[in-house]
């Protein structure tokens, strides 16, 4: 999902149906995060902001917590923070979520965390340069930033069809990879690796396949009316131990993720990531 769902994110805490897209996305993201844990021997993690894409908010860093990392989350919405707290209690998780009114001053000492990261969430910070300065100040080893793939066909589809409330603090320019890399370099942090991620067999349309076909062919009776209800799909049951084969099922969909050339991923992948390290003295 390239663009955040502003209006109905709360509904996911009720029906808990994240869909196949977000479920696949989470498993692939977990692989990257756990790989970074091994690379940097990560012990402490900051995820901020945590809201940036559809599905159950607050679970992006859960795999790192399961792997023994101490994880702190930052959010700016009181209602969402309360819902996430309830979700973490259900999971009996040791993740900590803190409420913050501004991302321009983070409530931590210098070099508090081994890794600071976020996933498709930079559009909600008030000032990109000021936030990244704070983000790097509290970070010791590495910063991971994931953004929507703006060259992707799905992102362009969603951008042309999505409406963002005019009173919302929302900066789509802040998820521009060139701007992020330039800003990080000015701060003294340097790109060590970047790549595409979240490249499933389906396009990043931000809606069910049936709804997409209904938009393309409105004269045809909606496909969703012909289908029987499907079982909800979400990673929560996997984390609760109820669906042990969940990750394997998602992995079976990763052929393009593992084998597609970069020229293909440039137009098909849903996201891309950038990994930064501080300049060594």
Neighbours of 221 (CB within 10 A): 9
pLDDT digits (tens, 9 = 90+) for 116-173: 999 999 988 999 999 999 999 999 999 999 999 988 887 766 665 556 655 566 788 8
pLDDT digits (tens, 9 = 90+) for 24-63: 999 999 999 999 999 999 999 999 999 987 689 999 999 9
Mean pLDDT of 243-250: 94
CA separation for the pair 134, 87 (Å, rounded):
28
Neighbours of 187 (CB within 10 A): 18
Q: Which residue has the higher pLDDT, 169 or 243?
A: 243
Report the DSSP pairing between strands 189-197 and 139-148: unpaired
Residue 118, beta-bridge partner list:
145
Residue-level pLDDT at 272 = 96
Class of domain 9-278: alpha beta
CA separation for the pair 274, 267 (Å, rounded):
17
pTM: 0.89
| 8 A C-beta contact, residue 140 and residue 43 | no
Q: Which residues contact 180 (CB under 8 A, 6 or more apart)?
A: 122, 128, 132, 145, 147, 174, 274
* Low-confidence winner among 4-8, 160-164, 213-217, 225-229 (lowest mean pLDDT): 225-229
Residue 49: exposure state from Cβ atoms within 10 A (0-12, 13-18, ≥19)? buried
Residue-level pLDDT at 170 = 72
Full DSSP string of 118-148? EES-GGGSS-HHHHHHHHHHTEEEEEEEEEE
């Amino acid at each position: 999902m390239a663009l955040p769902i502003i209006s109905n994110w709360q509904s996911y805490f009720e029906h808990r149906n994240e869909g196949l897209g977000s479920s696949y996305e989470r498993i692939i993201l977990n692989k990257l995060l756990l790989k970074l844990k091994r690379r940097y021997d990560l012990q402490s993690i900051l995820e901020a902001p945590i809201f940036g894409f559809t599905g159950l908010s607050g679970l992006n860093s859960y795999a790192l917590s399961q792997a023994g990392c101490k994880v702190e989350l930052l959010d700016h919405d009181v209602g969402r923070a309360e819902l996430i707290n309830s979700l973490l209690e259900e999971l009996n998780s040791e993740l900590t979520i803190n409420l913050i009114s501004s991302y321009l001053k983070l409530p931590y000492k210098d070099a508090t965390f081994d890794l600071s990261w976020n996933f498709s969430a930079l559009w909600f910070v008030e000032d990109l340069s000021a936030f990244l300065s704070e983000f790097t100040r509290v970070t010791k080893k590495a910063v991971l930033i994931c953004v929507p793939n703006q060259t992707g066909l799905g992102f362009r589809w969603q951008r042309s069809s999505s409406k963002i409330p005019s009173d919302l603090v929302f900066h789509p320019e802040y998820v521009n990879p060139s701007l992020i890399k330039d800003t990080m370099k000015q701060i003294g942090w340097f790109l060590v690796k970047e790549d595409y991620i979240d490249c499933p067999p389906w396009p990043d349309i931000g809606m069910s396949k049936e709804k997409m076909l209904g938009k393309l062919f409105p004269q045809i009776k909606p496909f969703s009316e012909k289908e029987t209800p499907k079982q909800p799909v979400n990673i929560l049951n996997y984390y609760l131990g109820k669906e042990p084969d969940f990750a394997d099922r998602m992995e079976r969909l990763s052929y393009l993720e593992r084998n597609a050339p970069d020229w293909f991923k440039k137009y098909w992948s849903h996201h891309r990531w950038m990994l930064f390290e501080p300049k060594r003295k």
